[in-house]
Structure 1
Amino acid sequence: MSAYIKLMQQTVPEDSADELPLRLQFLEWYGALPEVARLRPFSMVEFERALGTQGKYISPVLLALGWQRKRRWSSRRQYHRYWVPPSDGTQ
């Protein structure tokens, strides 16, 4: 068992311990945006590019912070999914 643990420790990059948790990364990124840019709907692609990770990891963070998922339905095309920041401005 100890050989397995040593192997796993070697495969983890050393700088991963210095990375901020995703929630803090998001809050720093979102807080750095101008106020005008914050008060609008966001697509998941914007979050993925800014944070460098997949939406399946970002969604729980957004939900915990009070963001809401919305859809813009269209009878001709696919619907568009987007995220809306909390209306109380807690971020």
Structure 2
Amino acid sequence: MSAYIHNLTQSLAPAPARDDTPNLQARFQAWFATVPEIARQRPWGMIEFERALGTQGRYISPVLLALGWRRKRKWETAGQYCRYWVPPA
């Protein structure tokens, strides 16, 4: 019974934290290189990055900031606002 409890406690222990940022950054750069040149210099929504890379925006955001992208918002008086990312100049 003690071996079972030992295995159970090991499976419940938190996994060691991994830093996937370099891997994600390389994946982003490889994906962005496949985007046609004319489409690269437009504002991008986070949902586009999430779908292309298959991960959440909270992991993509630090990669974009490290690569020089800027966050912007389009404010509207009639309610909600749009958030988007602008590539480096």
- Is TM-score (shorter-chain normalized) higher than 0.5? yes
1:42 aligned counterpart, secondary structure: coil
Structure of higher CA gyration radius: 2
Unmatched 5+ residue regions in structure 1? 12-19
Correspondences of 1:29-48 after superposition (within 5 Å): 29-48=31-50
> Take 2:66 and 2:45, find their aligned partners in 1: how far apart are those partners?
17
TM-score after normalising by structure 1: 0.74
After superposing on structure 2, the runs of 4+ consecutive aligned residues of structure 1 that deviate more than 3 Å are none
Aligned residue pairs, count: 74
Q: What corresponds to 1:79 in structure 2?
A: 81
CA–CA separation in structure 1 for the residues paired with 2:38 and 2:79: 29
| TM-score, scaled relative to structure 2 | 0.76
Q: Deviation per CA, 1:12-40, whole angstroms, max 9, x where unpaired?
A: xxxxxxxx810011000101100011010
1:26 maps to 28
Partner of 1:66: 68
